[in-house]
Amino acid sequence: MKMVTGEEERVSDLLRTSESFLRYVAEWEADLAVLPLAQVVREAGGPGGVALHVVDLTVGFCDTGRLASPRIAAIVFPIVDLLCRAHDAGVKHFLLIQDAHPEGSPEFEAFGPHCVVGTPEAKTVPELEALPFSNQFLRIPKRSISPSIGTELESWMAAHPEVTRHIVVGDCTDICVYQTAMYLKMRANALMLEYEVLVPEDCVQTYDFSVERAQAIGAIPHDGDLLHLIALYHMALNGVRVVRTIT
């Protein structure tokens, strides 16, 4: 894509004026705190006050399909580890919020066909299914990037006011994880509820699609590193507690 002089100047100005902010955000990310799980449980008043929201950790985003990404597959182990430690600490609320699209979903216009109901892509990754407490998982299917529109999540939230610490993990940082964390935080703000939303960076990730690859097939590029960072920062900007890891 060839730019005319005015466009080139605008791009140069944007790069110049944004440099200090990008440095600030990178330094903010580098300084994220480590949060002990025991502290989360204690602040919640016990394990019954903690819920883990596992977003889109399905075969279609980790292993097989047009949206599968090795970057996302790499967070499976950290998430499994966190779930196991949470279960050992007595946590019982595990919500698997997952894409389950019908054929011809309108969302396919933006992302292409993925995670269609009844296909292998829509299945939970086997690492989660193999956990001995997987029978405790509450599976919440969704037809869009929103975790709450047309799903059972809002009714679950209303039925569990005792949960005061909501941990969000999964993918993608800037899409469904962002939507989930923001829904939870905005719900707390709007309803004057005193609960906290937490996102551990080592348990969220997004995909990468370079400008060169995108231009070659007429798609929209997606800088995974940058958008992961900006989404984390924007969640924090809105009151979500973003940490390096939950130990």
Q: Which residues of 213-231 are buried (b: 16+ CB within 10 A; e: fewer)?
A: eeeeeeeeebebeebbbbb
Helices (H), the chain: 5-30, 37-43, 59-62, 70-73, 76-88, 108-111, 126-129, 153-159, 176-191, 211-217, 224-237
pLDDT in tens, 122-151: 999 999 999 999 999 999 999 999 999 999
Q: Which two tokens stand for residue 177?
A: 């994880």
Q: Which two tokens stand for residue 44?
A: 């919640």
Q: Rounded distance, CA 69 to CA 209, Å? A: 10
pLDDT in tens, 192-246: 999 999 999 999 999 999 999 888 988 899 999 999 999 999 999 999 999 999 9
For residue 174, the model assigns a pLDDT of 98
What SS3 class is residue 72? Answer: helix
Q: Is residue 99 scored above 80 in pLDDT?
A: yes
Residue positions counted in the chain: 247
Q: Rounded distance, CA 227 to CA 221, Å? A: 11
Q: Fill in the DSSP letter of residue 31.
A: T
For residue 1, the model assigns a pLDDT of 54
Q: Rounded distance, CA 94 to CA 232, Å? A: 22
Calculate Rg over the CA atoms of the chain.
19
Q: Rounded distance, CA 236 to CA 238, Å? A: 5
Q: Is residue 114 scored above 70 in pLDDT?
A: yes
pLDDT in tens, 157-201: 999 999 999 999 999 999 999 999 999 999 999 999 999 999 999
Phi/psi for 171 (5° steps) reads -145, 160
Phi/psi for 152 (5° steps) reads -95, 5
Q: Rounded distance, CA 77 to CA 75, Å? A: 6
